């Protein structure tokens, strides 16, 4: 918003704070440093009778393949440095690279510049079949070990994989675990941080007829030992401008299902109430918004709730978060 701003008045545990939401200048942050390579070994040792030990001890020189880091290095693409999966390509001189990078380098070997052709390195693909490797997110707590060709699929859904920054309105590239992202939101994005599971926000906009996709707000709540993101924004839904509020859970999808929340907006004897389950921040802000999974208020209704001459938006959104439990007090909200 160029000249207008949304003012948020928060009431949490009966404490009211007045402040004006500033414009945010977002800076791209580098990804956290990558964890070092593991020491890997083959999961299928070969037994060739009683002379097995002697034959292994006689393997010397540059043709020997150590069953640890050097095997992993052989399976590392020299272009993207990721692990290679079939088809693994090689040039006439034996240099290898992954199929994605083969297209990227225009079918020329990045090592010797020879034309690659369509030669598969079947021997290296066979070596990969014998390996079992830990998940690359082991530093973040994943204890799993997988056959080489199952590892990639697991890592795409691993519950220990880093989270993307949940900040909306900008393509922030920061990733990390939840404590890191909470500090990042507070320090870098200057997001409002509150403790408690009830809230009372008032959103004010002097010219509600000017609706931009970038008109949004984010507040982070800490309750039940977890963090939740409250989003409020204005955007165009077809030809009609609307306002939308929803909550995302800072954690995985399975944990998010343990919680519920409600949002309520109203005035003049009318009210709208939304109840739902918070979406995980694994789902992007845009994905949740475009699925309409939240409280949506049409502009005419928002102006009706604002009262007065309907020339200024004054919406009061109240809500609470609770934890689902199997007892009569399931809906009790116990602030931290």
Q: Are residues 191 and 295 in the same domain?
A: yes
* pLDDT, tens only, 14-35: 333 333 333 333 333 444 434 4
Distance CA 214, CA 224 (A): 31
Q: Are residues 201 and 128 in the same domain?
A: no
From 227, 206, 202, select the one nearest 217 (Cα to Cα): 202
Does the pLDDT of residue 76 top 90, yes or no?
A: no
Please tell me the predicted confidence (pLDDT) of residue 30: 40
Distance CA 254, CA 248 (A): 13
Q: Are residues 109 and 238 in the same domain?
A: no
Give whichever of 3-17, 122-136, 262-276 has the largest mean pLDDT.
262-276
Residues 6+ apart with CB under 8 A from 289: 231, 233, 235, 244, 246
Please tell me the predicted confidence (pLDDT) of residue 276: 96
Q: Could you tell me if residue 167 is inside a domain?
A: yes
Q: Are residues 115 and 223 in the same domain?
A: no
Contact of 98 with 82, CB cutoff 8 Å: yes
Distance CA 48, CA 52 (A): 5
Q: Are residues 205 and 313 in the same domain?
A: yes
Residues 6+ apart with CB under 8 A from 219: 8, 10, 191, 192, 193, 194, 199, 201, 229, 230
Does the pLDDT of residue 108 top 70, yes or no?
A: yes
Task: State the CATH number of the domain containing residue 225.
Answer: 2.60.210.10
* pLDDT, tens only, 206-262: 766 666 544 568 899 999 999 999 999 888 887 778 889 999 999 999 999 999 999
Q: Are residues 241 and 174 in the same domain?
A: yes
Q: Are residues 88 and 192 in the same domain?
A: no
Q: Are residues 268 and 313 in the same domain?
A: yes
From 62, 128, 65, 68, select the one nearest 98 (Cα to Cα): 128
Q: Could you tell me if residue 273 is inside a domain?
A: yes
Distance CA 335, CA 251 (A): 19
Q: Are residues 244 and 290 in the same domain?
A: yes
Q: Could you tell me if residue 20 is inside a domain?
A: no
Q: Could you tell me if residue 23 is inside a domain?
A: no
Q: Could you tell me if residue 169 is inside a domain?
A: yes
Q: Could you tell me if residue 30 is inside a domain?
A: no
Please tell me the predicted confidence (pLDDT) of residue 255: 93
Q: Which domain holds residue 249?
A: 163-323
For the stretch 200-230, what's the b/e string if a residue is b when 16 or more beta carbons lie within 10 angstroms of its beta carbon?
bbbbbbeebeebeeebbbbbbbbbbebbbbb
CB atoms within 10 A of CB 106: 8
Q: Could you tell me if residue 43 is inside a domain?
A: no
Does the pLDDT of residue 56 top 60, yes or no?
A: no
Task: State the CATH number of the domain containing residue 118.
Answer: 3.30.40.10
What is the total count of domains within the chain? 2
Please tell me the predicted confidence (pLDDT) of residue 189: 92
Beta bridge mates, 226: 223
Domain boundary residue, one of 113, 138, 157: 157
Domain boundary residue, one of 157, 179, 211: 157
Does the pLDDT of residue 295 top 70, yes or no?
A: yes
Contact of 308 with 170, CB cutoff 8 Å: no
175 burial (CB, 10 Å; 0-12 / 13-18 / 19+) is middle
With pLDDT > 70 as the criterion, what percentage of the chain qualifies?
71
Q: Are residues 185 and 148 in the same domain?
A: no
Helix runs in the chain, H state only: 52-57, 69-74, 99-104, 122-129, 148-157, 178-187, 253-256, 285-290, 299-306
Does the pLDDT of residue 122 top 60, yes or no?
A: yes
* pLDDT, tens only, 128-180: 888 888 888 988 889 989 888 888 889 988 989 999 999 986 678 899 999 99
Domain boundary residue, one of 131, 157, 183: 157
With pLDDT > 90 as the criterion, what percentage of the chain qualifies?
31
Q: Are residues 238 and 201 in the same domain?
A: yes
Q: Are residues 187 and 317 in the same domain?
A: yes
The pair of structure tokens assigned to 118 is 């369509």
Q: Could you tell me if residue 124 is inside a domain?
A: yes
């Amino acid at each position: 918003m160029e000249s207008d701003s949304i003012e948020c008045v928060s009431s949490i545990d009966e404490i009211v704070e007045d402040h004006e939401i500033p414009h945010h200048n977002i800076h791209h942050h580098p990804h956290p440093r990558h964890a070092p390579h593991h020491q890997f070994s083959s999961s299928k040792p070969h037994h060739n009778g009683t002379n097995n030990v002697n034959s292994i001890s006689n393997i010397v020189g540059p043709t020997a393949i150590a069953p640890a880091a050097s095997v992993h290095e052989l399976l590392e693409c020299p272009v993207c440095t990721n692990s290679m999966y079939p088809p693994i390509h090689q040039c006439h001189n034996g240099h290898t690279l992954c199929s994605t990078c083969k297209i990227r380098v225009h079918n020329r070997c990045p090592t010797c510049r020879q034309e690659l052709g369509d030669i598969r390195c079947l021997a290296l693909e066979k070596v990969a079949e014998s390996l079992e490797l830990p998940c690359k997110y082991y530093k973040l707590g994943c204890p799993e070990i997988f056959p080489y060709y199952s590892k990639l699929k697991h890592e795409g859904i691993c519950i220990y994989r880093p989270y993307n920054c949940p900040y909306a309105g900008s393509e922030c590239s920061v990733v990390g675990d939840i404590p890191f992202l909470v500090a990042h939101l507070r320090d870098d994005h200057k997001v409002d941080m509150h403790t408690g599971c009830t809230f009372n926000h008032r959103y004010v906009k002097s010219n509600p007829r000017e609706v931009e996709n970038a008109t949004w707000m984010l507040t982070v709540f800490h309750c039940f030992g977890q963090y939740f993101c409250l989003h409020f924004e204005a955007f165009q839904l077809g030809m009609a401008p609307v306002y939308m509020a929803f909550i995302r859970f800072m954690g995985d999808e399975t944990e998010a299902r343990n919680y519920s929340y409600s949002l309520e907006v109203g005035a003049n004897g009318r009210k709208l109430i939304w109840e739902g389950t918070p979406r995980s921040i694994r789902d992007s802000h845009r994905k949740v918004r475009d699925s309409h999974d939240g409280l949506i208020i049409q502009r005419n209704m928002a102006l009706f709730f604002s009262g007065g001459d309907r020339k200024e938006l004054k919406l009061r959104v109240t809500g609470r978060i609770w934890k689902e439990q199997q007892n009569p007090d399931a809906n009790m909200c116990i602030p931290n």
